[in-house]
C-alpha cells in the first residue's frame, strides 16, 4: 500500500511537470461539446490522464508509418485521440482505459467522426489486454509502466510490428529511433524476433560444401555470436536483427584464400529462410537454417 501511494505520487509529479511545461500549455483542452468534460491531470488507476499533444500524435503515426493495413492499440487511451487519428489514416484499432467516462467519450467521438467501424474503445486494464492483434502499439505512460508492459508486448506482438511511445522510454530496451516536433519527443521500436540459440545449416560454397553452427546471444534487438564449421575457422561480422530479418557476414578459410559469405533471411519460429551470397560475386543461393537449441523468451514475464 505504502509502495503504491509512493508510485502514484511519482506519477503525479512527473505528469504535472508535463502539464505545466510550455509544450502542454499550448495544447487546447478537448472540446466541451459532450456531457462529460475530462480534466487534465485527473487520476487514473496507474497514471493520471494527460492527452498527447496533436503534433506528437501525428509524429507517432508518421514514425510507425501507419496505413490502412495497420491495427493500432493504444494502452490507456484517454479521450481516444491516437486511435482516432490512426483511423483517419485508414487504420483499424482499439483503445483501452479504465476510466469508463473517457471510454464513452471516445466511442461517441468515433461515432461523430464516422470512424466507429474502425476505432473502438473499451473499459479494460492495459495489463490484461491481448496485444497480439497490434501491428502498432502506442503508449503515453510513465517509464515504469512502459517497462511493466514490455515483456507482455515482446511476447504477444509479432516480430516486425512497431511500438511508439510519446515522451517516455522503455528502460533498457533502446529505441530504434527518436524524433522530436515542437520540443515533444517520440520513441520508436521494432519488435524483434527471438534469434538467440544454436542454429545449424549446410551451405554449398564455390568448390566446397560445409556444415555450420552459429551461437547467437540476444539483448532485445541487439545480437552477437560466433560461428564454426567442421573444416575451417570462421567468424561473424555485421550481425543485425530488424524485426524478423536477420543478416550477418561469415568469413572463413577457402583454400589459401578467405571466403566471405553474406547471409540474410527471415526468422519464423525455429527456422530461417533466406539467401547467401559468397564474396559478393555469385548470385545469391537459397539458405535455410534450423534452431537446434537455446530458444528462450526475449524477456520473461515477471
Q: Enumerate binding residues for ligand SAM (CB under 6 A).
A: 44-47, 49-52, 74, 76-78, 81-82, 96-99, 102, 125-127, 140, 166
CA distance 218 to 234: 20
Decide whether 98 or 253 has the Cβ nearer to ligand SAM.
98
CB of 138 to ligand SAM, least distance (A): 7
CB of 79 to ligand SAM, least distance (A): 6
Decide whether 77 or 146 has the Cβ nearer to ligand SAM.
77
Supply 128's cell numbers.
490484461
CA separation (Å) from 181 to 23, 54, 60, 166, 168?
Answer: 10, 10, 10, 11, 15
Decide whether 186 or 278 has the Cβ nearer to ligand SAM.
186
CB of 123 to ligand SAM, least distance (A): 8
CB of 152 to ligand SAM, least distance (A): 12
CB of 131 to ligand SAM, least distance (A): 13
Give 216's contacts (C-beta < 8 A, 6+ positions apart): 195, 196, 197, 198, 199, 223, 224, 225, 239
Tell me how far the alpha carbon of residue 59 is from its chain's centroid: 16
Decide whether 35 or 39 has the Cβ nearer to ligand SAM.
39
Residue showing the smallest CB distance to ligand SAM in the complex: 76
Decide whether 70 or 97 has the Cβ nearer to ligand SAM.
97
DSSP 3-state of 21: coil
Amino acid at each position: 500500500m505504502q509502495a503504491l501511494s509512493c508510485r502514484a505520487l511519482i506519477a503525479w509529479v512527473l505528469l504535472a511537470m508535463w502539464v505545466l511545461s510550455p509544450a502542454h500549455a499550448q495544447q487546447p483542452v478537448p472540446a466541451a461539446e459532450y456531457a462529460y468534460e475530462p480534466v487534465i491531470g485527473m487520476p487514473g488507476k496507474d497514471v493520471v490522464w494527460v492527452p498527447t499533444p496533436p503534433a506528437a500524435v501525428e509524429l507517432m503515426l508518421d514514425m510507425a508509418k501507419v496505413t490502412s493495413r495497420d491495427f493500432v492499440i493504444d494502452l490507456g487511451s484517454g479521450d481516444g485521440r491516437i486511435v482516432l487519428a490512426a483511423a483517419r489514416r485508414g487504420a483499424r484499432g482499439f483503445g483501452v482505459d479504465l476510466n469508463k467516462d473517457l471510454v464513452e467519450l471516445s466511442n461517441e467521438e468515433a461515432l461523430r467522426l464516422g470512424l466507429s467501424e474502425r476505432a473502438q474503445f473499451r473499459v479494460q486494464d492495459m495489463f490484461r489486454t491481448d496485444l497480439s492483434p497490434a501491428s502498432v502499439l502506442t503508449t503515453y505512460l510513465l517509464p515504469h509502466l512502459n517497462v511493466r508492459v514490455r515483456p507482455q508486448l515482446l511476447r504477444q506482438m509479432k516480430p516486425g510490428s512497431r511500438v511508439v511511445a510519446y515522451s517516455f522510454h522503455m528502460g533498457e530496451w533502446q529505441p530504434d529511433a527518436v524524433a522530436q516536433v515542437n520540443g515533444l519527443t517520440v520513441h520508436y521500436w521494432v519488435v524483434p524476433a527471438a534469434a538467440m540459440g544454436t542454429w545449424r545449416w549446410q551451405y554449398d560454397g564455390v568448390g566446397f560444401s560445409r556444415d555450420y553452427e552459429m551461437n547467437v546471444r540476444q539483448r532485445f534487438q541487439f545480437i552477437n555470436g560466433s560461428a564454426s564449421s567442421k573444416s575451417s575457422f570462421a567468424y561473424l561480422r555485421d550481425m543485425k536483427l530488424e524485426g524478423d530479418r536477420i543478416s550477418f557476414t561469415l568469413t572463413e578459410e577457402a583454400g589459401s584464400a578467405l571466403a566471405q559469405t553474406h547471409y540474410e533471411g527471415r526468422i519464423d519460429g525455429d527456422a530461417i529462410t533466406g539467401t547467401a551470397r559468397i564474396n559478393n560475386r555469385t548470385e545469391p543461393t537459397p539458405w535455410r537454417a534450423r534452431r537446434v537449441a537455446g530458444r528462450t523468451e526475449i524477456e520473461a514475464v515477471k
